[in-house]
Amino acid sequence: MKSIESKEMFLQEIASGLSVVMFSANWCPDCVVIKPDLPEIEEQYSDFIFYYADRDQLIDLCGELDIYGIPSFITYHDGKEIDRFVSKERKSKAEIESFLSQSLQKVSK
């Protein structure tokens, strides 16, 4: 998973193709819980390019995107938001997989 370092990099990376951005932080216990599942999820949903955005480093971007809880996920297709799984609740592997499957279905319509 590639790390997003700035708003400019974020905009450049999501500009083309399918991407999913995980907004997280190292101190977040719910983020730590799903971390071991992420490589398998990335492999299973290889249509997406996965990015990691540190909430603390990109606090202004998170504010612009209305991301106030982590971990949160937003999917993009050619720079346009497809869907979001944004809340302060813990997310399970199954919930993340369901979210990504729904995002793929929205793109294929």
Can you spell out the DSSP letters for 36-89? GGHHHHHHHTTTSEEEEEETTTTHHHHHHTT--SSSEEEEEETTEEEEEE--SS
Kindly report, residue by residue over 29-63, the tens digit of the pLDDT. 998 899 999 999 999 999 999 999 999 999 999 99
Q: Is the peptide bond before 36 cis (omega within 30 degrees of 0)?
A: no
Q: How far apart (Å, rounded) are the C-alpha atoms in residues 27 and 9? A: 23
Domains, the chain, in order of start with CATH, read: 2-103 (3.40.30.10)
Mean pLDDT computed over 83-104:
92
pLDDT at 108: 83
Kindly report, residue by residue over 73-93, the tens digit of the pLDDT. 999 999 999 999 988 778 999
